[in-house]
């Protein structure tokens, strides 16, 4: 992708703005353990990017939780909010990065988190006014790595996908944004890092949100795989 003129930026939430992937994992593991399911190797990676309908069905069908998917979602979010109420795990520099980029471009949020989680996080973080558009994967047919959540976010914003940049941390998130046709800035998740083969497909790889600058996005069309 060359000759790029960025018209909007779309942020992921978990892993980019929140250090929350581990907390989601803990909450799901607790529900599995409390309801006689069996956690298995690879479950965490397989559920990354799934919508609530997808991961709750996975807990029931693959891990043996004997509850309806809606009830599984309720229990997991209840445990997640217990953790958020103690301390919202904002990534250091995340608020500043959102405000900095938002001064230059309209912003959207494309998240695998449930709508109630998105709204709570943005309210507590004081960022509800920062995003013109927020989309949960529960509001589209398929979760990440399918492109649906990014396509919907871009549709609501207005520009074409190739005029937008996504900020992602996970393998399935990167795949989702690329499948939707967006340019991708990757910030590899520290707890669940994407494989090198996926990171190599990103336009830019940076180590933290502190490196998200207006200049980085303006120069995105002339960069590939480095910051």
In what order do the strands lie in the sheet containing 204-205? 133-136, 107-111, 8-11, 164-168, 183-186, 204-205
Nearest to 59 by CA among 81, 80, 38: 38
By C-alpha distance, which of 149, 127, 105 is closest to 18?
A: 127
Q: What is the pLDDT of residue 21?
A: 87
Integer angstrom CA distances of residue 24 from 41, 47, 168, 174, 195 = 16, 10, 17, 19, 21
Q: What is the pLDDT of residue 121?
A: 96
Give the chain's domains with CATH numbers.
8-19+89-222 (3.40.50.1000), 21-86 (1.10.150)
The Cα–Cα gap between 66 and 81 comes to 22
Confidence at 4, pLDDT banded by 50, 70, 90: low
**pLDDT number for residue 219:** 84
Q: Can 85 be counted among the known catalytic residues?
A: no
**Which of these is catalytic: 14, 148, 169, 203?**
14
> How does residue 226 score in pLDDT terms, banded at 50, 70 and 90?
very low
Active site residue 14: yes
Q: How far apart are CA 109 and CA 218, in angstroms?
A: 20
Task: Give the model confidence (pLDDT) of 5-29 as tens digits.
Answer: 899 999 999 999 999 989 999 999 9
CA 208 – CA 124 distance, rounded (Å) = 22
Instruction: Please tell me whether residue 184 adopts helix, strand or coil conformation.
Output: strand
């Amino acid at each position: 992708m060359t000759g790029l003129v960025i018209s909007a930026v779309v942020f992921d939430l978990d892993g980019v703005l929140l250090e929350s992937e581990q907390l989601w994992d803990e909450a799901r593991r607790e529900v599995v353990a409390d309801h006689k399911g069996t956690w298995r190797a690879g479950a965490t990676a397989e559920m990354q990017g799934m919508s609530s309908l997808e991961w709750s069905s996975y807990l029931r069908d693959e891990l043996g939780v004997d509850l309806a998917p809606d009830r599984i979602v309720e229990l997991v979010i209840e445990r997640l909010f217990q953790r958020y109420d103690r301390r919202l795990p904002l990534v250091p520099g995340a608020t500043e990065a959102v405000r900095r980029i938002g001064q230059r471009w309209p912003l959207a949020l494309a998240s695998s988190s449930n709508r109630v989680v998105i709204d709570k996080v943005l309210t507590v973080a004081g960022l509800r006014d920062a995003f013109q558009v927020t989309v949960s994967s529960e509001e589209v047919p398929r979760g990440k790595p399918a492109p649906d959540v990014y396509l919907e976010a871009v549709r609501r914003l207005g520009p074409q996908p190739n005029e937008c940049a996504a900020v992602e941390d996970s393998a399935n998130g990167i795949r989702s944004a690329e499948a939707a046709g967006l340019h991708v800035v990757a910030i590899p998740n520290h707890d669940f890092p994407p494989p090198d083969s996926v990171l190599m497909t990103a336009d830019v790889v940076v180590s933290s949100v502190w490196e998200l600058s207006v200049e980085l996005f303006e120069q995105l069309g002339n960069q590939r795989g480095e910051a």
